[in-house]
Amino acid sequence: MKRVVLLVLDSVGIGALPDAHLYNDQGANTLANIAESLGGLNLPNLQKMGLGNIHPIKGVEPAESPIASYGKMAEKSPGKDTTTGHWEIAGYILDKPFPTYPNGFPKDLIEEFERKIGRKTLGNYPASGTQIIEDLGEEHVKTGYPIVYTSADSVFQIAAHEEVIPLEELYEMCKIAREMLVGDHGVGRVIARPFVGQPGNFSRTTNRKDFSRLPDRKIVLQSLQEEGYEVLSIGKIWDIYGGVGITRSLKSKSNLDGLEKTLESLKGDFSGLIMTNLVDFDMLYGHRNDVEGYGKALMETDQMVGKILDNLKEDDVLIITADHGCDPTHPGTDHTREYVPVLVYGKKLPVQSLGVRESFVDVAATLVKIFNLKDQYNGKSLI
């Protein structure tokens, strides 16, 4: 059986890309800056895989004899958001970035949306999700108007109190927005952002739901599925790809829950890919500038990586990478335009420095090689 585990450490970047100045991200380095701020990180399993051989990280020394191949990948697509990064990992390089709305969405688009949902809206500006419900939550509860906002990413987000607008109605509003947001307004994701609580004490729930723009070119997940392989997604992966190319999906409540589900899935028999997204790094720590929380989550993940390594079979392959950066030490709360680390482990694989790769598509090219797929993607295999 051919089996690959692909862990995407959401937002765990490893240094600013050469064009980072175009995004005001000079000096960003999610991993190294967190380690420096905390006086070092203790990541023994990732260290022995070669993480410290990619770039200096305080507390993570280069391994003399790493057990995995190690390197870093540049993002070839323009942008620095989740959808762009994941699409490129799956073999799709964007020609132009997804649209963003630093001044909010056009008035005519919002008016059309309001007409279709039968309610006025609040907000319509870029904001932190926790801050905007603090600012507008009370008015929302009084009026029943959903809160529409965006961020530096290509997203149309709708926040609503679960007792004011029931979840199914909120999801229906998102579907309406998704149908509208095409062409020049084809944002990467429409996101339902439900919350609960009282004014002054609102909190978001785990009932978030993403409605992604679907890739309009073939991705490697579809190639795997067509060849009869299982593609199991864990965490946010189903939402990011809109289910395209996925045969089975498991939701996760946290990084650790996603890793536990990955570990449990490895104990079963199947041929194909397990692709897991660990979103807490980005959602809970990167965007909230929580350096300490981010560092703790990295160390917790490292422990689970050790368990995954122990449960890999003779022919299994583990690939660990990321989709973009989100340096919590960097000014602002947005993603950062960074290289991402890549580690490739298999008991039968030779170990080598992978250097600096031109594109995340090298992951898709690696899956093509491992599974002997007919479709080719414009990258170079990591193996």
User: Is 21 annotated as belonging to a binding site?
Assistant: no
CA atoms within 13 A on the CB side of 34: 29
344 within 8 A of 366, measured Cβ to Cβ = yes
Query: What is the dihedral sign for C-alpha 6, 11, 12, 17?
Result: positive
51 within 8 A of 343, measured Cβ to Cβ = yes
Helix (H) or strand (E) holding 123: strand 122-126
264 within 8 A of 311, measured Cβ to Cβ = no
Which residues are CB-neighbours of 186 under 8 A, at least 6 positions away? 98, 99, 213
User: Is 287 annotated as belonging to a binding site?
Assistant: yes
Residue 369 CB neighbours (<10 A): 12
**Can you tell me whether residue 9 is helix, strand or coil?**
strand
- Taking the C-alpha atoms of residue 340 and residue 324, their distance in angstroms, rounded to an integer, is 6
Longest dimension (CA), the chain: 64
User: Is 335 annotated as belonging to a binding site?
Assistant: yes
User: Is 316 annotated as belonging to a binding site?
Assistant: no
Annotated binding-site positions: 10, 282, 287, 323-324, 335
Annotated binding-site positions for Mn(2+): 10, 282, 287, 323-324, 335
